[in-house]
Structure 1
Amino acid sequence: MIRLLLVLFALAGCSQLQSPDTRAREAVAAAAAEGFSLPLDGATLDVPPGRLTAISVTTAPLGEGKLRGFARISLEGRLDGMPVSYVGDERFVVACAGRCALEGPPAPRLVALLEVLLQRRAALEAGDRERLASLAVPDARQQIARADLQAAAARPVAGWFIRIDRDEAMVGEAAPGAGQRQLILRHEQGSWRLVSGLP
């Protein structure tokens, strides 16, 4: 009887007997407990332990022991020292081989969005109007053509506060001291594009 109970306790802790949603939730929780860094083009987003949460986690099978996870993710980190706060709809990959763990970043949509924001800053600093226009939807390009890029580049950025709902993102771009600009981006044709708040 005692041996049977020990076997049952061991099986209860086996991830293979847990639901896919539970396994994905625990994989995110493990990453959150350790903290992690997300490399970007020329920058790094550092998320300290305990600053990532996921709610409403669901999954779909990908085959070969992998799951596609869907969740509402919130995190706080620093992008090369600058505060970044985020909440949004995410899709991530969980690989299961005995134990389950994230394969890749827990917030790939955020990573892609940050890449565009960094490219925008680089284009502003370089005064590259053509590059900036390539990051925007066609309707926003006339605004870029008339904009004072030098003045926009001179505006310091103290933090980004980001929210992604489906295929739209709102970014609060904080200024030192007080004040905030709002940028809106839309995900279309596989990438994020600036819609308003330019340059």
Structure 2
Amino acid sequence: MDLLIKIIKRFWIINCFGIFVLSACTPASSQEKLLTSKEGNFSILMPGTILEEISTPQKGINNRNWTTLKNESIYSVTYSTFLQQIAPQRIPKVLQILMKTANKTNFIDGKQVSQSSINQSGYNCQDFTLMGKPSTYLQEEIKKKGLNINNKLLYQRSLLCMKNNYAVEAMIITPSSEELKTNGASFIKSLNFKS
């Protein structure tokens, strides 16, 4: 179990870092674009110009990230595959670990605002919202991209879904509670898995 927890924590940190690696400061258009992943068997509406990165396999995890920047907000979706399948009964615990890791990695004294467990097309999912002051790590990564949101209160909403040996996470990080409630909510709700 310890090895699984280490792999899962590495998965989240790689995903989070992947957002910033590929998020060059390309201005996002206001048009939504339908992103369809055949490998991941999902689609999602993303605002603006989509940047894509396929990371090299690390510690048994392959990631593919798509990101857009809109105003001061980061929209991201990540498709990850693991070398080993995760037993269905363990997925809820793994999702909880990932949520806690996100809070500790991104925020100083972060607060979990909401959380709900859902099943979407056979995927076990956690829909959660976190808030807090950005961690030093998050501040540095955001600053590299030219976004001016250091030391502001930030919100993160994620829909993290797992099935078999893969995971899909749609995530928005924003300093605007209004952006989170409107565009962020519609972004998260647009994640659709093919049957």
Q: Same fold by TM-score, threshold 0.5 exceeded? A: no
Asked which structure has the greater RCO (Cα within 8 Å, sep 6+), the reply is: 2
Higher Cα Rg: structure 1 or 2?
1
TM-score by length of 2: 0.31
TM-score by length of 1: 0.31
